[in-house]
Amino acid sequence: MSNRRGHIFKKISLVFLIVALYNLWTLKPVTILYTGTERFNDVVVDHLPLTDRDRIQWFRNHREELKKRFNISNIFYYKIFVWDVGNGFTNHILSRHSDLYCFDKMQSEKNCIDKNRLLTIEVYIDGNEIYTVHGYSDITYTIGKDGIIKMNRDEHFFERVYDNVMQSINPLNYL
């Protein structure tokens, strides 16, 4: 009987640990490390919240701040890319990674990051917003003038997930 009690205690402890780590991650404020207009409106952050809903809400809470940083006024359309800083900024010559995104206007030798886009935001003058949450699959959400979030169905979702998984385990990617 005590062996069974030990298993239950371990399971409860594991669930508690997972919930605690999730709360720590979501409560940690997102730090904007760089904003620039290299080719697009780019934002580099240390992390974003874990859920799609929280990522979208993060942008909506920081929209005015980012519009000021990018000098975006009432134009008919704008697009913002949110990038993960990953292991930090690196020099494109000294980096071991070949798939880098560099910020040429940045006043530093370390002006590149591993190419890992977390979120793409498109805002139209008519009030419609499109959010693409990047990961193994790119899930797109639309928010209309009514403020209702709608997930756009993707008939090729599982095919893209399979392709992304196969590409990530392909040994040629690590050469």
pLDDT band at 1 (very low <50, low <70, confident <90, very high): low
> For the segment 132-144, what is each residue's pLDDT rounded down to a tens digit?
998 767 888 999 8
Residue 175 within any structural domain of the chain: no
Task: State how far the Cα of 46 lies from the Cα of 86, in Å rounded to an integer.
Answer: 7
Check residue 161 and give its pLDDT: 57
pLDDT at 66: 85
**96 vs 1, higher pLDDT:** 96
In a domain, 13, yes or no: no
Considering the entire predicted model, what is its pTM?
Answer: 0.71
Domain count, the chain: 1
Containing 3, the helix (H) or strand (E) segment is helix 2-27
Answer for the pair 99, 116: CB distance below 8 angstroms, yes or no.
Answer: no
pLDDT given at position 82: 94
| DSSP sequence for 5-27 | HHHHHHHHHHHHHHHHHHHHHHH
In this structure, is residue 18 part of a structural domain? no
Q: Would 131 be classed as within a structural domain?
A: yes
115 within domain boundaries: yes
| pLDDT over threshold 70, residue 154 | no
d(CA 93, CA 100): 11
pLDDT for position 135: 78
Between 152 and 15, residue with greater pLDDT: 152
Domain that holds residue 51: 25-170
